Amino acid sequence: MKRLPATPRQSDAPLNLHIPSDGLVDLNFKVEPLLRQRFKMEAVRRGMSNKEFFTACFQVYMDTYPSDAEIVELREPTTEQRSRRIKLRKERAARIAKIRGRRE
């Protein structure tokens, strides 16, 4: 039976496992080729990026067909919440480093 390779060191781990500093995340889904082409062409006609056009379309849809669900206001985290998240991430990284140190 073939053995699995050793777990990579933390320094070898990918560096893309966080939210980029610009705060944007990927949104991926498949559509019909004709819809994709029409969407991109309409964005170009309006002088908008695909993201800008999608955001505008979504806003118009939500304004036209509001959800029956209770409206939830999305807010940026407070400085205190951000500090707590950073502290928790550092504590978690320290625990992981300690565990990895025992294995090696």
Least confident interval from 2-11, 33-42, 50-59:
2-11
Report the alpha-carbon distance of residue 65 to residue 62 in Å, rounded.
5
Residue 69 has a pLDDT of 66
Residue 56 has a pLDDT of 97
Residue 60 has a pLDDT of 94
The answer to whether the CB of 48 falls within 8 A of the CB of 56 is yes
Residue 98 has a pLDDT of 87
Domain residues for 47?
29-65
Domain total of the chain? 2
The answer to whether the CB of 99 falls within 8 A of the CB of 9 is no
**Is 22 part of a structural domain of the chain?**
no
101 in the same domain as 80: yes
**Is 18 part of a structural domain of the chain?**
no
**CA–CA–CA angle 35, 19, 61 (5° rounding):** 35
The answer to whether the CB of 79 falls within 8 A of the CB of 87 is no
80 in the same domain as 54: no
Quick one: pLDDT band at residue 17, thresholds 50, 70, 90?
low
**Is 80 part of a structural domain of the chain?**
yes
